[in-house]
Structure 1
Amino acid sequence: MDAFVTQWGQGVDRWLLRLEPFWPHLAAMISVALAITVTIHVSQNKRDARAAAAWTGLVWLVPVFGALLYFLLGVNRIRRRARQLTGGKIETDEGWRVAAEPLPLHGHFQELSRLVGRLTHLPLTDGNRITPLDAPAAYQQMLDAIESANESIFLATYIFGNDAAGRPVVEALARAVQRGVKVRVLVDGVGSLYSLPSVVWRLRRNKVPVQRFLYSLAPWRMPYINLRNHRKFMIVDRETGFTGGMNIRAGYIQTPPSITDLHARLEGPVVGQLLRSFAADWLFSCGELLETSYRGLAQLGEVKARGISAGPDADFDKRRLTLLAAIGAAEHRIRIVTPYFVPDLTLLATLQLAMLKGVQVQLIVPQKNNLRMVHWASLHALRWLVSEGAELYLSTPPFDHSKVMTVDGHWVMLGSGNWDARSLRLNFEFDLECYSDQLAGTVDGSIDERLPDCRRMDTAAFRDMAPWRRVRNALAHLMEPYL
């Protein structure tokens, strides 16, 4: 046996020696073939010319490794799999009629409502009660709702910490399971790793049914590493919902908090749309089909609302198009609060056009960000908006993770989505569009309360910025398609 192994090894060595003069040519042929293959695939599958150009440049300038990165991060295989499992139907309601749909009170929002309806294939629901909550209040109300549940609890989140915030939720869910409540928990595959050990083992040890969205530690089994489920919502007894930007993490409830956020409690028919979105994600993750009928009352408040599911599957570009439509509908004022603001050129140009027609644009972003490169790129984009007349405010710590937009004191959009390429193109997001003077007034009031503690950044502040910082920000912005 040893003689055979020795003889085989010598044979391999001889072949390698014979091929040695040809290795540079073979390597060049392989790298060129990979680059050509990726270029063809990019040109046929990428709708964003800038992203296509960036990937093409990468695979030619970084041979082999660039193609490997594209295979892991650039190929969207999720759309095909989502269509196979759900048929793209579970999150839509094809039976609703435009003629029967309620319309916003203000005329210039009626066309916006019709447009978003055609985009999402979901009706605008009437009779909703939507209560904005800061993170500690939202966390406590979610815990109370879990404790009082008697039929079902469906919870989806990006990050579920195995910490002082996550453990009480696990214990409450376990008690719900023990009293016969149907519990389903969906955690993103990457988000579940923010705490080690992961909270998933604690959930399973307590017999709480849990799935991880697109999870695998094996790279060859993980072709979706760049596509994350960023949605955060909970539906209790198919009649009460919670959604917004809040993850389940200790930083929200510690004293003093290290992070703040905006979440909302939902009551009314729009909860059925949260339920449909969760059911689609759950079916995608494990193949189980859940009951999606809303059980609550039809008339609980005055808010007209609609859920907007967005992602790199059948829902591609829905959120981005909604934002463009809302900016175009504005007549007086647009207010945006977001932790990550690196929009594409089209969104920037649409905001600029709004300002040119006299619309006031106010943006609030954190003064200190947890993602430095995103913050630098954001400052570069914001510099141009400020030069066109936008008002920019930098919020002081704690880190504000809220994601909300109001238009003309009537339209509100809140949820999980940010203003960056990841949220607009890669992540699975869920946002809520609402039509209500009262709700918009409440949200605008909370924005007004935080403005005195913010630092205003005007053109002079950008002009006085150190030259090396401006260069740093501009270089970071070159990475916008990847941020």
Structure 2
Amino acid sequence: MFQRLLLLFDAGSAPAPVLTAARRLAPAPERVHLYGLSPERSELETHPPPSHTVLAHLQDAVRDWPVRDGVGQQLATHLDAGAFIRTATQLGSELVIVGPLLGTSPRARMAVILALAIRERLPVLSVGAHCPETQAPTSRIGITVAPDGRGMGSVAAFLAGHAPPVELIALTSEVSPAQAGELQTLSRALGITETLRVESLVERRTGRAEAFESAALRCGADLLLAPTDAVDNLRALSIGLLGARAMQEAHVPTLLLPRTLPASSLIEERYAVSDSLVLPGLVESRFAVERVGFLSNVSVPEPGLLTVFEGGAPLCGTRHQGGTAALPSSSISHVRGEQSLAFAFTGDAAARDLAPCHVLAPERPLLLIDSGLDPAPFEAAFSMMGEMAHLVFVRLRDSEPLDVHRERLHRRLPSLGRPLLLDASAWLEDARADDVPRQVDAQRLLRVATRLVIGGARLVAVVTRDEHKPRSPFIRTLTPNELLRLAEGPVPEPLPVPEEPDPFFRELTLAGGGVCLGGHVIDFELDNARARESVLAAIESAQSSIHWQCYIVEDDAVTVRFTEALGRAARRGVRVRLLADALYSGYDALGTMNPALARLSETPDIEVRAIAPLSEVPSLAELKQRNHRKVILVDTERAFITGRNIGAPYYTGFDEVPLRRTSSYREVPWLDCGARLAGPLVSDLERAFLAEWTRAGGQPYPVPPAKPAGSLSARLVLHEGLSDTHTLDTQLALIRHARSRLVIVNTFPLLLELRNALIAALQRGVRVEVLFGSVRPHHGQGVYFPGGALREVADWYVRSRLDEVIAAGGVAYEFAMPPAPTWEPELERVFPHVHAKILVCDTAAVALGSANLDVTAAYWESEALLVVHDTPFAERMLSALEPLLAGSRRIDREDSQWRAEAEQRAWVGRNWPSLIG
């Protein structure tokens, strides 16, 4: 509400209309200042002239007005624009009321009004000579708006601070159907009951200056709002020349809302918000928030406040940050069907802009569609599907603004009305997918669908435009051609979703597709030497089969020990099958043949096969879509699910190597981790191996069921590159459900979405600890072992993704090993690489296996992850990690070495190709 008022009037004006209009907007102001124009003189006399009598009448009327801090007054002989504007600013006026000023040139009067509203950014109420002397019995406001809705942010700010009128009416010039749809959405959100079409006040050079007032009179408005954000400098001049007399003679008071946006007519910014859904199982609805500038360039606005309007009243306030805003479900739980909302972007003092959107509480199942798909060929299919399902489009990239997507969809599917448009990054919180390549957008679309199903949505299907279609056991996915075939018959029911009473378990099941099973014995091993001996012992005890899948196979002494053990097993009748990734093991890739594997394949009863062999220059998908799993299966009774490849770095203890300052960086062992497993999930691992084995050309074999072996509960999460994102979604579910502590062990650059999830966990009070290693190992006070200089750049990239986690309160440790008896004493501590992949969620769950936390593991490569649901197991893992954390170097943001590398980290973080991961 306006509290400090300045009234400008003259001797020729009747006081009643001015006071009536002023009291309409400020029924109980704090202070009022009267500024009268007296052509006779400016000093009070014993016998006052008429202007003084008018001042006296105004003073008498103001006494009946509840003004808390009194009334000020002054007289002037004429309208001095500069002096009056200085008075307005010096008094801190919140509203300036300008009477008809019949003794002043209409253009001079209009120049003052425009200067106050546009240059000084003050609200100005213009009261014309024919405005009513008494207030109307009902409150009805007309609003002059630009066809694209500019200026309605100022309207929203006004409505937020004043009692809502009985009726709001929008007056605008003719607009395109798409613009009309957005204007109607804004209108409904602001409670505008009718949108009239009138010719704009400044569209013609002469003869239509009364257009808006005529429309306001026709619809019975008692106040006309005119946001000056929709008026550039050239049009302001036009109004001053052509509309001045109409404003002075007006029958309806006009409130000019001040300009809050830059006045440039060449480069104008606007704001846009995606639509969203209200779902019973989600605590919030998520929206993309964007700024659209010159040439429709999309950018993320600076963090700020939003006021949300619904039905003419402010609904709630919220913050937007990083291009995303979230509304608590409690604030929109009343929504049924589709509802219009408007988001007012708030600057330092006033609303800057207003963006329309819809929220949908689904009454029917959803059909989720990639908004990049050309919908025109499928209009008949969409129309048919739309009778039984809500059509919801999803923007996967912000290369085009939201309103451009909406306009294109509306133009190509006119029968569907205004399309509902979600934004993938708002739901995935993946920072506009800046580190996620376009080639995986079909997976991102399926991930959005999964988030919605977790929230309680029912989905008929997901329609992707990509040839490579992702898969889910719970969500039907369709290519465009499959959509056409589906639309020929009855709309199918959504696929059944598993019922889980525990929301945490339900999300994990939907995220990874694996159910939690009991009956297991599980242990882990962080010590490389003990892990090696454990695998060798399992090989020596094998009776029927050994199946080993690996990513990298080195040709070194440790590999020789494994291959010799496999040879002995084969000679005693054990069937040995070994799978290795062709590219990274150098086996059947562009003519190469790994010597260790070649020797092994020559052994009777041992069969070695390459996963995805390469015979010619590979495509991007062939390079990135590799199989990264590391699994060892013995007799379909015991299994190792691990991060370790075959070679010395993974299976050599730190105290087994006589390190010297001259040692190559390759001689430094790595920290790694794997799990030993017995129980029902071994059969699932065996079937996964069999699928890869037959794909690689091997003959199928029977898989017997593995018997229960213990009491631990666990789930197996298998991710197949470009087909799903099971391991990523499982990692995110564990992070989202953490309540007290998260411990992560990994040295791969955090996917931005995972980084944002960790920051969100910190913001809700979770302690986040990250143990990472040095891709280029070093010792002492930052002295590198010889070789691997380029690996230092990878270190900067890894650490760049930790900077914001540390800034948000996360604790990061650079892994260090204390001096070992076999090392040269001058080395002091050694800082090795960390290859382990561990995530501990409170003491509720531990995830370990082959899946890193980078974009390659998330989307491209096939992975295996074991999630153990057992508190004692989690406590044992934490106990094993505690001494590693305590002996490592805790990162201090103020540390001189960390600060010295800040510029390199930032540069690499900006310029590292996301495809590399």
Q: Is the 8 A contact 2:563 2:600 kept in 1?
A: yes
Residue in 2 aligned with 1:353?
A: 760
Matches of 1:467 and 1:270, distance apart in 2 = 45
Shift of 1:402: 1.0
Shift of 1:240: 0.3
CA offsets 1:330-353 (integer angstroms, 9 cap, x no match) = 110000000213212x22222111
* Counterpart contact for 1:339–1:369, Cα < 8 Å: no
Aligned-pair distance for 1:233?
0.7
Scaled by the length of structure 2, the TM-score of the pair is 0.41
Distance 1:261 1:128 in 2: 22
- Asked if the contact 2:734–2:841 (Cα under 8 Å) also holds between the matched residues in 1, the reply is yes
Match of 1:161 among 526, 533, 554: 554
For residue 137 of structure 1, what is the aligned residue in structure 2? 530
Deviation at 1:320, TM superposition (A): 1.2
889, 896, 910: which one pairs with 1:475? 910
Say which SS state the counterpart of residue 458 (structure 1) adopts: coil
Letter paired with 1:302: S
245, 250, 258: which one aligns with 2:643: 245
Which letter does structure 1 place at the counterpart of 2:521?
R
Alignment of 1:446-465 (within 5 A): 446-461=880-895, 464-465=899-900
CA separation in 2, counterparts of 1:455 and 1:77?
47
8 Å Cα contact 1:417/1:423 also seen in 2: yes
Structure 2 contact 774–834 (Cα < 8 Å) conserved: no
- Is 1:379–1:473's contact at 8 Å kept on the other side of the alignment? no
1:408 counterpart residue number? 842
Change (3 A) 1:376 1:175: same
Q: Given the superposition, is the C-alpha separation of residues 292 and 111 from structure 1 closer, same or farther in structure 2, using an over 3 Å criterion?
A: farther
**What is the alpha-carbon distance in structure 2 between the residues aligned to residue 228 and residue 448 of structure 1?**
34
CA distance in 2: counterparts of 1:162 and 1:359, whole angstroms = 44
Deviation of residue 367 (structure 1)? Answer: 3.5
What secondary structure is seen at the aligned counterpart in 1 of 2:895? helix
Aligned amino acid, residue 652 of structure 2:
I
Query: What are the residue-to-residue correspondences of 1:122-271 with 2, within 5 Å?
Result: 122-133=514-525, 134-193=527-586, 197-207=594-604, 208-219=606-617, 224-251=622-649, 252-253=651-652, 255-256=656-657, 258-271=669-682
**In the alignment, structure 1 residue 376 sits paired with structure 2 residue 796:** yes
Per-residue deviation, residues 54-73 of structure 1 (Å, max 9, x unmatched): 669xxxxxxxxxxxxxxxxx
The match for 1:398 among 832, 837, 840 is 832
Q: Deviations over 1:109-142 (max 9, x none)?
A: x322222223343321102111111222122111
**Which letter does structure 2 place at the counterpart of 1:145?**
A
Which range is displaced more, 188-197 or 235-244?
Answer: 188-197
Structure 2 equivalent of residue 18 of structure 1: none
Cα deviation 1:57-109 (Å, max 9, x = unaligned): xxxxxxxxxxxxxxxxxxx998799x9xxxxxxxxxxxx9957x8x8xxxxxx
Distance 2:794 2:852 in 1: 11
Aligned positions of 1:35-46 closer than 5 A: none
Output one character per residue of 1:334-383: Cα deviation in whole Å (capped at 9) or x when no partner: 00000213212x22222111111111100110144474443212211211
Structure 1 position 206, deviation (Å): 1.2
| Whole-angstrom CA distance in 2 between matches of 1:121 and 1:368 | 33
Task: Give 1:318's aligned amino acid.
Answer: H
Q: Which has the higher contact order (CA 8 A, sep 6+)?
A: 1
Residues 540, 569 of structure 2: 8 Å contact kept:
yes
1:118 and 2:510 correspond: yes
**2:739 aligned with 1:325:** no
Distance of 1:122 and 1:322 partners within structure 2: 10
Listed as ranges, the gaps of 5+ residues in structure 1 are 1-40, 57-75, 84-95, 104-109
Identical-pair percentage = 26
Given residue 128 of structure 1, which amino acid in structure 2 is its aligned partner?
H
Distance in 2, Cα, partners of 1:52 & 1:420: 10
1:422 aligns with 2:830: no
Decide whether aligned partners of structure 1 residues 139 and 199 sit closer, same or farther in structure 2, where only a CA change above 3 A counts.
Answer: same
User: Partner amino acid for 1:363?
Assistant: V
- The structural deviation recorded for 1:213 is 0.7
- Structure ranking higher in helix proportion: 1
CA displacement at 1:449 relative to structure 2:
1.1
Counterpart amino acid of residue 600 in structure 2: L
Q: In 2 relative to 1, CA 161–111 (structure 1 residues): closer, same or farther, beyond 3 Å? A: same
**TM-score, normalized by length of structure 1?**
0.75
Q: CA deviation at 1:168?
A: 2.0
Bigger Rg, structure 1 or 2: 2
Equivalent of 2:718, from 289, 309, 321? 309
- Measure how far apart 1:327 and its partner are: 1.0
Aligned CA distance change for structure 1 residues 98 and 449 (closer, same or farther; 3 Å): same
Report Cα offsets for 1:249-308 as digits up to 9, x if no partner: 12332622522211111111121221122112112211532323333x31x333211111
In 2, the alpha carbon distance for the partners of 1:182 and 1:78 equals: 36
In 1, the alpha carbon distance for the partners of 2:620 and 2:796 equals: 30
2:640 counterpart SS class? strand
Distance, in Å, in 1 between the alignment partners of 2:520 and 2:436 is 45
Structure 1 residues 219 and 394 mapped into 2: Cα distance closer, same or farther (>3 Å)?
same
Q: Is the 8 A contact 1:154 1:235 kept in 2?
A: yes
Decide which of 772, 779, 792 is 1:365's aligned counterpart. 772
Which letter maps to 2:541? Answer: S
Question: Structure 1 CA distance, aligned partners of 2:797 and 2:645?
Answer: 24
Contact 1:162/1:196, CA 8 A, preserved across alignment: no
For residues 436 and 856 of structure 2, the distance between their equivalents in structure 1, rounded to whole angstroms, comes to 17
TM superposition shift of 1:310:
0.9
User: Contact (CA 8 Å) 2:775, 2:794: kept in 1 or not?
Assistant: no
Contact 2:436–2:914 (8 Å) recurs in 1? no
- Whole-Å separation in 1 of the counterparts to 2:617 and 2:870: 47
Q: Which amino acid aligns with 2:549?
A: A
User: How much does 1:440 deviate?
Assistant: 0.6
Structure holding more strand per residue: 2
Structure 2 residue ranges without an equivalent (≥5)? 1-369, 375-394, 398-431, 440-465, 474-495, 658-667, 778-790, 817-830
Q: Please point out which of 849, 866, 878 is paired with 1:432.
A: 866
Q: Secondary structure at the match of 2:744?
A: strand
Find the residue that maps to 2:505 and give its secondary structure: helix
What letter is aligned with 1:262? C
Q: Which amino acid counterpart does residue 333 of structure 1 have in structure 2?
A: R
Report if aligned partners of 1:78, 1:224 keep a CA contact under 8 Å in 2.
no
Contact 1:341 1:365 (C-alpha < 8 Å) held by counterparts: no
Q: Residues 119 and 464 from structure 1, CA distance in 2 versus in 1: closer, same or farther, beyond 3 angstroms?
A: closer
Secondary structure of residue in 1 paired with 2:536: helix
